[in-house]
Structure 1
Amino acid sequence: MTHTSTATPAKFPPTIHARWRETAASKGFDILKRIKDRYHLLLRCRICRATHMGKIFVLMNSQPQCPHCIEARWQGDAEAAGLKWAGRDPQNRHYGFYIADCGHRLRRQLELIKRAAAGICDVRCETCHSRKEQEEAAAQGWELISPDPDGDPNYRLYRHLECGREQRVARVNMQTGRFGCGGCGENWPAAPSHLYAMRFKLPNGAQLVKLGFSRNPDSRLRHQLLKHRSVEAQILKTVPMETGQRALQTEKRLHARLKTAFSDSIAPPVLYAGSINVRSEIYFADVTAEIVRMLDEIATDGAA
């Protein structure tokens, strides 16, 4: 007996209507054929020439997106942000995986990487950043334990290696050493300090001088006072003091003398508010010589 073989008929019509082709062309695609069922088409992108499956309804009623072009943009964003694209997160369509220069694998929001590519923000590796913070703490004799238990992103919880005390410390203070151990360390009234005179030239042209005290004048200037790199600043003179309490008392007496003798030389805060991170006790440069003279006097015989 002879059996006649017949092909299984398609479950959907192969017809591609002219209006579909015209619409696809106007939106940057060519229709190759109908696939899967009567609702889907195989589309070819006219930009990258790659193909993907799309719905007829989407083609006719909105702008289809080529998944290959989208992934190429994600890859371009990754490269612009200094990363290597490692694929989309299958668990969350808003996230992707990236390889940092250090070799660590990062999971980040696609939009965040786009912003980083535009220079709006930075992307950092948590593993390397944590190691850096641990090294900062070790350099000061402390150990990083955890993020701040109170939830402040500017603080961390540290352990003092000398006495074992656990303490919340602002990270910027850990970086600069501008803090003491509440268990065994000296606090500022008892710790050695310095009087200082600093000169500033602001972007607006104003030239000012500041008299103050600090355990570390250079750190005070570089990490606390300056708001912008455009401000020119210089430490003119420092005078060591036995204690912070003595430095504070002496500073107050000097300011009282300056305010009495040079009241017209007190600079208004509005002049420097955007450049120097203080609210008062800044003078115009015409009293610089007098401030330096007073500090020389203190350095010579301790008079105030």
Structure 2
Amino acid sequence: MTHTSTATSAAFPLTIHPHWHAAAEAKGFGILQRVKDRYHLLLSCHTCRRTHASKIFVLMNSQPQCPHCIEARWRDDATAAGLEWAGRDPEDRHYAHYIAPCGHNLRRQFEMVKRAAEGVCDVRCELCQQHKEQEEASAQGWELIGPDPNRNQNYRLYQHQACGHVQRIARANMQTGRFACGQCGEDWPAAPSYLYAMQFRLASGLRLVKLGFSRNPDSRLRHQLLKHRDLDAKILKTVPMATGQLALQAEKRLHAKLQAGFSDQVAPPELYSDALRVRSEVYFADTAQVIFAMLDAIEAEEDS
């Protein structure tokens, strides 16, 4: 009687050689079995205890990478960057999808999120950023149209709501209001302005006052004068002037009087150079009442 076996041989060898085991253990893996074809092994990661298929050539000639551990690091980076992991991008192996705190889905490179997790850069939502920039423009009476046609990252294209004029404006200037419409705006000599007195309390406790003029004293204080935003600073008094030219002339007269009559009250620049972006026209706090009196006199003249 002839015996016929129904067993079939494997489509690829099942032998796992001892030196393969040794290489896998040295690299943080165990070998479970051969899979797929004669070129692949099923490895078990000693770190996460999960499995993945790896080529024998990779095991023997380089360091296998556990895809589960890699994804765990991506998830950790997302959390550290303030994002929620939403999965890999199926179209590009260098990208993944993340959920921002605002709820919007962001597509970002792994390396960019890693840098954000390390504090090197920030991850921002384009939709929320556009909304923020539109609010900045609206506060100044403008409408955000889009990116700069000249591709300067610091500029945007805006339209003036009052006259319809379209203009390139630096975003920093839009935030501070330090610009004019190229069609209907006034240059600073003709535009209304203010004389101002400001006070600064330095880290040492020393108080200083500054006399000056600006079309926008608050913007001048917050965005131009201070080197550090946490410096104790405030506007003590402002006097509206009909034009910037008149404000400049009045300011020069006042400084001349102060420097002639109170030269010992002029603060040396080395006292405040670490805190303020100016090198002159700053006085010790004892001159504050003198400056107030001068400004009151000018205000009375303007009102008469």
CA distance in 2, matches of 1:91, 1:282: 60
Contact 1:196 1:217 in 2 (8 A): yes
Inter-CA distance 233–31: structure 2 relative to 1 (3 Å threshold): same
Which residue of 2 is the match for residue 21 of structure 1?
A: 21
Which residue of 2 is the match for residue 185 of structure 1?
A: 185
Which residue of 2 is the match for residue 53 of structure 1?
A: 53
CA distance in 2, matches of 1:40, 1:264: 86
CA displacement at 1:61 relative to structure 2: 3.5
Instruction: Classify the secondary structure of the residue corresponding to 1:283.
Output: strand
Inter-CA distance 93–266: structure 2 relative to 1 (3 Å threshold): farther
One-letter amino acid of the structure 2 residue matched with residue 188 of structure 1? W
CA distance in 2, matches of 1:264, 1:34: 89
CA distance in 1, matches of 2:152, 2:274: 25
Matches within 5 A, 1:90-105: 90-105=90-105
State the TM-score, normalizing by the size of structure 1: 0.88
Inter-CA distance 72–297: structure 2 relative to 1 (3 Å threshold): same
CA distance in 1, matches of 2:54, 2:266: 72
One-letter amino acid of the structure 2 residue matched with residue 69 of structure 1? C
Inter-CA distance 180–17: structure 2 relative to 1 (3 Å threshold): same
Instruction: Classify the secondary structure of the residue corresponding to 1:249.
Output: helix
Which residue of 2 is the match for residue 218 of structure 1?
A: 218
1:184-221 per-position Cα deviation (integer Å, ceiling 9, x unaligned): 23332222211111111223544322111112212221
Which residue of 2 is the match for residue 126 of structure 1?
A: 126
One-letter amino acid of the structure 2 residue matched with residue 160 of structure 1? H
CA displacement at 1:148 relative to structure 2: 1.9
CA distance in 1, matches of 2:2, 2:131: 79
Inter-CA distance 10–186: structure 2 relative to 1 (3 Å threshold): same
CA displacement at 1:152 relative to structure 2: 2.6
1:88-143 per-position Cα deviation (integer Å, ceiling 9, x unaligned): 22333322111223332211121221222233322111112112222322333221
CA distance in 2, matches of 1:157, 1:64: 50
Contact 2:241 2:302 in 1 (8 A): no
CA displacement at 1:8 relative to structure 2: 4.2
CA distance in 2, matches of 1:7, 1:282: 98
Contact 1:16 1:33 in 2 (8 A): yes
Alignment partner of 1:66 is 2:66: yes
1:239-276 per-position Cα deviation (integer Å, ceiling 9, x unaligned): 11111111111112222333334445444445434422
Which residue of 2 is the match for residue 295 of structure 1?
A: 295
Mind listing any 5+ residue stretches in structure 1 that lack a counterpart? none
Contact 1:202 1:230 in 2 (8 A): no
CA distance in 1, matches of 2:61, 2:274: 53
Contact 1:41 1:55 in 2 (8 A): yes
Contact 1:140 1:174 in 2 (8 A): yes
Which residue of 2 is the match for residue 280 of structure 1?
A: 280
CA displacement at 1:74 relative to structure 2: 0.9
CA distance in 1, matches of 2:114, 2:284: 46
CA distance in 2, matches of 1:51, 1:105: 30
Contact 2:201 2:208 in 1 (8 A): yes
Contact 1:203 1:230 in 2 (8 A): no
Instruction: Classify the secondary structure of the residue corresponding to 1:69.
Output: helix
Matches within 5 A, 1:1-304: 4-301=4-301
State the TM-score, normalizing by the size of structure 2: 0.88
Instruction: Classify the secondary structure of the residue corresponding to 1:221.
Output: helix
CA displacement at 1:2 relative to structure 2: 8.1
Identity %: 69
- State which drifts further: 126-135 or 257-266: 257-266
Name the count of aligned residue pairs: 303
- State which drifts further: 252-261 or 46-55: 252-261
